[in-house]
């Protein structure tokens, strides 16, 4: 009897969140999935059950190119945020001795987040542009004759913006894992004769694995679903999968956009399933 | 060549705060040495300096006639067993034990074979594939010990190895440590805050306080003749009393205080005669505690000093063991241990 009451009250407790998620996540996803099977023409969408949207999507060369681009951005952003994020977290966790200093430096890492990500991206433009600071600087120093074109509206600019935007999402979980590493484990490794390289390979990396994976999940999902960065930093000439969806929406081709969204959602879920297999998320929370 | 460990005027300070203050210590090869003291006395720091995990501020550390003061831990021939064992949580027991050999560059088959032999030595071979978090405290400790021994050190350093165990296991592991030490003929240096542990294990006990050595020697000699009021207090079983407690302070040779072992005091009725070469003092019984082999009788002298007497179970006159009763405490003059100010 006691157990029953307890069960009922725990259901009540989870009800508000369930309602919120149902209304604002599950229901819209359901609608998108339904619409992805509808037909459309230039000015209206027509309830139906056809596979044309998916067929067009999966056979179009544009889609595949956009997926290649998306994965390329995601991989580069992941690799660079991982390298930078791991280094920063390692520095904070193992080289800064006092808690106060750790907190202070950690807060400094969050400074980019004091403004919106659009503003942050736009502020790169005067720096990277054809007549921007870097190009004019290089030219007046005599290092280059003509402006470097790859700096802005390019893959370079897009990945740069991702790294700028998302490195902190890597730093936080890795730092969290590293702070849990018992310092005496490192001494034990030193006692066994380990060099710094061995300590990194045998102790620090294996024990920050869950932080690395959680950070990777953040960065992957954020980059896979992003279109603003690609639009602004790619100057409209680069496309990833989300920009395709965005374009279809602006052309009122809602069923095609919905089909694109469903495929993208499954792709991301597939990646997440793989990543979640590598980490016990409950242990980390 | 002099074998063993030698600390020569070794000091350690952190930002001007002195943790270890110029200690001199010689530990013979193959002996079991216990560093004993209250927390913050510098015993762990001393151990960590010998291990090479703490830089020496000044002075030298000599191991088997080799000055190792500035050498890396592995180059010294020492191995440390950490307080919380510090086993690698992501590695199996056999990989934990084999880690030192992996760093030394042994191939997997060879190092696994040696690690298994070492696990056998500590009776943990059947747990080779378990992770540390699947083991009990005592089992983890054996793994930690095997890991320390695998690189064939001359000196094994143990930082409060028994403090995380329950009392029963502590006594069992204590025996095993001692047996292993004498079987392997290694020098063990063991940090502890328990005098019981130190007395049970040590060939050489070193009592430390405030970063200096208060007394060193065989536990028996320390217990029989504590060098200072601090040592007498810390090792327990002693009463430290002021010189003027005695009516005739001449046996003290001018010392200001002395100690008397609790088990050397006997209780008698107030009207009893004092034996020859004994002193007698009046006291009031505060409390009588039955402790199996002994009665612990807490008494108070007229000037307020408390005296603890351990009376063998069969030697306490039952008509005296009554709180608030006034009795006579007496002990032999030979048992008085005076403390001369240095």
Mean pLDDT of B171-193: 92
B100: which chain A residues are within 8 Å (Cβ-Cβ)? 192-193
Cβ atoms of residues A175 and A96 within 8 Å: no
Look at the domain B4-231 and name its fold.
Answer: Rossmann fold (3.40.50)
For the segment A192-221, what is each residue's pLDDT rounded down to a tens digit? 989 999 999 999 999 999 899 999 999 999
Please give the model's pTM, rounded to 2 decimal places: 0.82
List, in order, residues 6 or more apart from B118 with CB less than 8 Å away: B97, B146, B149, B150
pLDDT at A285: 58
Alpha-carbon span B338 to B258, nearest angstrom = 4
Alpha-carbon Rg for chain B in angstroms: 24
Inter-chain contact A188–B73, Cβ cutoff 8 Å?
no
Q: At B215, is the pLDDT very low, low, confident or very high (cuts 50, 70, 90)? A: very high
A56: left (phi over 0), alpha (psi -120 to 50) or beta: alpha
CA A141 remoteness from chain centre: 37
Cβ atoms of residues B60 and B69 within 8 Å: yes
List chain A residues with pLDDT less than 70: 1-6, 283-285
pLDDT exceeds cutoff 90 at B256: no
Q: Among B94, B31, B339, which Cα is nearest to B102's?
A: B94
Residue of chain A whose Cα is closest to the Cα of B144: A188
B246: left (phi over 0), alpha (psi -120 to 50) or beta: beta
Q: At B132, is the pLDDT very low, low, confident or very high (cuts 50, 70, 90)? A: very high
List, in order, residues 6 or more apart from B315 with CB less than 8 Å away: B266
List, in order, residues 6 or more apart from A285 with CB less than 8 Å away: none
Q: At B324, is the pLDDT very low, low, confident or very high (cuts 50, 70, 90)? A: confident
User: Position of tokens 């409060």?
Assistant: B160
Beta strands in chain B (DSSP E): 4-14, 17-28, 32-36, 58-63, 66-67, 78-81, 155-159, 187-192, 204-209, 212-217, 238-242, 257-261, 266-268, 278-291, 294-301, 306-312, 326-332, 337-339
B73: which chain A residues are within 8 Å (Cβ-Cβ)? 190-191, 193
Task: Give the 3-state secondary structure of residue B192.
Answer: strand
C-alpha separations of B257 from A22, B213, B278, B340 in Å = 81, 20, 18, 8
Q: At B1, is the pLDDT very low, low, confident or very high (cuts 50, 70, 90)? A: low
Distance from CA of A188 to the nearest CA of B (A): 6
Alpha-carbon span B8 to B56, nearest angstrom = 11
Q: What are phi and psi of A87, to 5 degrees?
A: -65, -45
Q: At B314, is the pLDDT very low, low, confident or very high (cuts 50, 70, 90)? A: confident
Cβ atoms of residues A157 and A69 within 8 Å: no
Q: What is the mean pLDDT of chain B?
A: 90
Structure tokens at B43: 């015993």
Domain ranges in chain B are: 4-231, 237-339
Query: In order of start, what are the domains of chain A with their CATH numbers?
Result: 61-284 (1.10.3720.10)
Q: At B2, is the pLDDT very low, low, confident or very high (cuts 50, 70, 90)? A: low
Inter-chain contact B100–A192, Cβ cutoff 8 Å?
yes
Q: Among A103, A81, A82, which Cα is nearest to A92's?
A: A103
Mean pLDDT of B256-265: 91
Residue of chain B whose Cα is closest to the Cα of A188: B86
Alpha-carbon span B238 to B309, nearest angstrom = 9
pLDDT at A68: 93
Task: Give the 3-state secondary structure of residue B291.
Answer: strand
Strand order in the sheet with B78-81: B78-81, B155-159, B187-192, B32-36, B204-209, B212-217
Residue of chain B whose Cα is closest to the Cα of A197: B103
List, in order, residues 6 or more apart from A150 with CB less than 8 Å away: A156
Cβ atoms of residues A219 and A77 within 8 Å: yes
B147: which chain A residues are within 8 Å (Cβ-Cβ)? 188, 192
Report the run of H or E that residue A89 belongs to, with start and end: helix A61-90
Q: Among B88, B86, B54, which Cα is nearest to B70's?
A: B54
Look at the domain B237-339 and name its fold.
Answer: OB fold (Dihydrolipoamide Acetyltransferase, E2P) (2.40.50)
Alpha-carbon span B319 to B110, nearest angstrom = 71
pLDDT exceeds cutoff 80 at B253: no
Q: What are phi and psi of B192, to 5 degrees?
A: -155, 155
pLDDT at A113: 81
Which of A189, A191, A199, A279 is most worth mutating to test chain B (most B CB atoms within 10 A of its CB)? A191
pLDDT exceeds cutoff 80 at B152: yes
Mean pLDDT of B146-164: 91
- In this prediction the ipTM stands at 0.82
Cβ atoms of residues A212 and A156 within 8 Å: no
pLDDT at A42: 80
């Amino acid at each position: 009897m006691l157990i029953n009451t307890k069960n009922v009250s725990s259901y009540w407790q989870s009800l508000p969140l369930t309602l919120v998620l149902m209304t604002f996540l599950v229901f819209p996803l359901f609608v998108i999935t339904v619409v992805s099977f509808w037909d459309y023409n230039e000015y209206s969408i027509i309830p139906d059950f056809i596979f044309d949207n998916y067929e067009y999507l999966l056979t179009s060369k544009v889609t595949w190119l956009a997926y290649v681009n998306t994965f390329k951005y995601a991989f580069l952003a992941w690799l660079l945020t991982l390298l930078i994020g791991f280094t920063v977290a390692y520095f904070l966790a193992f080289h800064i001795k006092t808690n106060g200093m750790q907190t202070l430096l950690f807060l400094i890492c969050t400074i980019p987040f004091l403004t919106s990500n659009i503003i942050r991206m736009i502020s790169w433009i005067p720096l990277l542009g054809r007549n921007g600071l870097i190009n004019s600087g290089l030219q007046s120093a005599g290092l280059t004759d003509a402006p470097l074109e790859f700096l802005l509206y390019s893959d370079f600019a897009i990945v740069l913006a991702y790294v700028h935007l998302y490195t902190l999402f890597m730093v936080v979980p890795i730092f969290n894992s590293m702070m849990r590493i018992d310092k005496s484990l490192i001494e034990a490794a030193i006692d066994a004769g380990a060099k710094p390289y061995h300590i990194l390979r045998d102790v620090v990396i294996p024990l920050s694995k869950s932080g690395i994976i959680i950070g990777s999940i953040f960065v992957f999902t954020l980059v896979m679903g992003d279109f603003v960065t690609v639009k602004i930093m790619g100057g409209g000439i680069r496309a990833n999968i989300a920009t395709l969806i965005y374009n279809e929406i602006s052309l009122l081709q809602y069923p095609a956009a919905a089909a694109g969204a469903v495929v993208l959602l499954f792709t991301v879920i597939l990646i997440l399933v793989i990543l979640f297999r590598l980490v016990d998320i409950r242990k980390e929370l | 060549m002099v074998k063993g460990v030698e600390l020569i005027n070794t000091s350690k300070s952190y930002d001007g705060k002195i943790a270890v203050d110029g200690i001199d210590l010689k530990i013979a090869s193959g002996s079991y040495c216990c560093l004993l003291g209250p927390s913050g006395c510098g015993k762990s720091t001393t151990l960590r300096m010998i291990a090479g995990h703490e830089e020496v501020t000044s002075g030298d550390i000599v191991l088997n006639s080799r000055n190792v003061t500035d050498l890396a831990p592995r180059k010294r021939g020492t191995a440390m067993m950490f307080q919380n064992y510090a086993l690698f949580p992501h590695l199996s027991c056999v990989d934990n034990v084999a880690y030192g050999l992996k760093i030394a560059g042994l191939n997997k088959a060879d190092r696994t074979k040696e690690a298994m032999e070492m696990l056998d030595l500590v009776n943990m071979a059947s747990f080779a594939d378990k992770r540390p978090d699947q083991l009990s405290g005592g089992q983890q400790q054996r793994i930690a010990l095997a890991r320390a021994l695998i690189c064939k050190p001359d000196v094994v350093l143990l930082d409060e190895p028994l403090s995380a165990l329950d009392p029963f296991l502590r006594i069992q592991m204590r025996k095993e440590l001692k047996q292993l030490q004498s079987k392997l003929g290694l020098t063990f240096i063991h940090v502890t805050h328990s005098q019981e542990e130190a007395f049970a294990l040590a060939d050489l006990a070193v009592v430390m306080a405030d970063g200096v050595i208060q007394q060193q020697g065989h536990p028996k000699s320390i217990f029989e003749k504590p060098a200072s009021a601090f040592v007498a207090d810390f090792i327990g079983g002693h009463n430290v009393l002021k010189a003027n407690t005695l009516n005739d302070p001449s046996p003290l040779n001018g010392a200001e205080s002395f100690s008397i072992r609790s088990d050397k005091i006997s209780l008698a009725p107030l009207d009893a005669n004092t034996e020859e070469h004994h002193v007698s003092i009046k006291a009031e019984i505060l409390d009588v505690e039955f402790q199996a082999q002994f009665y612990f009788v807490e008494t108070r002298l007229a000037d307020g000093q408390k005296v603890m007497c351990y009376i063998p179970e069969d030697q306490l006159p039952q008509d005296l063991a009554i709180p608030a009763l006034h009795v006579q405490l007496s002990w032999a003059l030979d048992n008085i241990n005076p403390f001369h100010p240095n």
